[in-house]
Structure 1
């Protein structure tokens, strides 16, 4: 049987998603818990790997198993063996043709940013920080230059392993609630550090370092040196993949409503 799981996590204490010898990753913790629950080794494949310090609102994984359990048993049984900052939110049997990564038609990210003269305290590790006032109109105008299919080399980390820098950004939404900003991104796929590098540029524009048209110049330069420094991972959340409705999988978790 192939099983899909939706997983939420606080990425602050972990070295990212992908398994490492130290065992201090989300994948290591999840597979260890699943193996305890199943009383046999379990491996998983995720929809999108996250970096150290990046959080997950709804990571989706799939696994193959001969163990027959009700979906609620997979959720409660696995969570029993997980640390408190990682939790399986739902479990659902899927056809063997389902693939957590390859079946996704898009991916979503959220970046939460605190605008304040004082650094985050309660939000430490869970929100980025801008100490200068931000211009919403300028950031919206800058974001428009990134929509559609482009070569995003200027926003690509040097260690990125993607075969092509050409990606399609479907949507960038910017909202404000008091001193908190919420940036939402949806695209067919993302390069390593792409969102954090875009955020660095948006904050530059929002704080008046560059005009909104500078974003187009950065994009066209196709050079990482043209863009702003990589922004902090603290406020970045993987909101999860988007699948065709026919798979019948959940699209959100309660954590979506917890964010500002």
Structure 2
């Protein structure tokens, strides 16, 4: 038995999120089915991030166990010949059987895209959130600075989350604008349910003048979801990368 790690990219538009569920097709379900057909085994992948319906990924991570003799790096080629065009494996490799993508320390990077102009662009409708309200990027950048470091992010946690603690650490938060496109890029040691989308929704309210940038501190200190802004739509969010320390791949 060996464990294989997959780096998975997908367009989340047509899927009910990552995790297998009874009410619609998911990315994990498609992966499981094609892996099972490929190996002749019943395969159930374990994913690192349970992205929501409509959320995209460039580098989600999953692992599976198999007895097939195929080298780990060959699974990417074999799977990509079978998978639908909106799911592609970027890398496959054998890892220690003890490696678990959710329980090993990691750093995740997300991007949230905002189309900020008078009218929407149809080709952007699945990959960015459109708003015609002029956003002040400098105010958004100032507000984002209050989120850096380790904090209790309870105000930015969606209802129904089951976690032991709402304390997380944001290592970097960059907000840039090119033409009509605003990109919020956030990197941290982990994120709560809907945390990035709530941060994006709050930053847009501040950028639109609903309250001053310094109010972000009060939102953090409130530790109350009602204090923060709305949850931004899923379509603007992409999981860019999950980075693990090299030591995570050393055999015990």
Normalised-by-shorter TM-score class:
over 0.9
Does structure 2 retain, via aligned residues, the 8 Å contact 1:71–1:90? no
Q: For structure 1, which segment, 185-194 or 67-76, has the greater mean C-alpha deviation from structure 2 after superposition?
A: 67-76
Partner in structure 1 of residue 174 of structure 2:
173
> Separation in 1 of the partners of 2:127 and 2:27?
17
What's the CA shift string for 1:76-97, capped at 9, x where partnerless? 2212221110111111111223
> Separation in 2 of the partners of 1:36 and 1:241?
27
Matches within 5 A, 1:193-208: 193-208=194-209
> Separation in 1 of the partners of 2:38 and 2:24?
18
Partner in structure 2 of residue 255 of structure 1:
none
Confirm or deny that 1:36 pairs with 2:37: yes
- Specify whether residues 72 and 242 from structure 1 end up closer, same or farther in structure 2 by C-alpha distance, changes over 3 A only: closer
Which secondary structure state, in structure 1, belongs to the residue aligned with residue 79 of structure 2? helix
Which secondary structure state, in structure 2, belongs to the residue aligned with residue 234 of structure 1? helix
Partner in structure 1 of residue 3 of structure 2:
2
Q: Kindly state the Cα deviation for residue 120 of structure 1 after the two structures are TM-superposed.
A: 3.5
TM-score normalised to structure 1 length: 0.91
Q: Kindly state the Cα deviation for residue 119 of structure 1 after the two structures are TM-superposed.
A: 2.1
> Separation in 1 of the partners of 2:46 and 2:197?
24
What's the CA shift string for 1:178-225, capped at 9, x where partnerless? 111111111111111111111011001111121101111111111111
TM-score normalised to structure 2 length: 0.94
> Separation in 1 of the partners of 2:202 and 2:121?
21
Question: How many residue pairs end up in the alignment?
Answer: 249
Which secondary structure state, in structure 1, belongs to the residue aligned with residue 168 of structure 2? strand
Does structure 2 retain, via aligned residues, the 8 Å contact 1:6–1:90? yes
- Specify whether residues 10 and 138 from structure 1 end up closer, same or farther in structure 2 by C-alpha distance, changes over 3 A only: same
> Separation in 2 of the partners of 1:23 and 1:211?
41
Matches within 5 A, 1:209-228: 209-228=210-229
Matches within 5 A, 1:46-125: 46-125=47-126
Confirm or deny that 1:152 pairs with 2:157: no
Does structure 1 retain, via aligned residues, the 8 Å contact 2:140–2:206? yes
> Separation in 1 of the partners of 2:129 and 2:89?
26
> Separation in 1 of the partners of 2:105 and 2:43?
22
Which secondary structure state, in structure 2, belongs to the residue aligned with residue 143 of structure 1? helix
Does structure 1 retain, via aligned residues, the 8 Å contact 2:176–2:184? yes
Partner in structure 2 of residue 232 of structure 1:
233
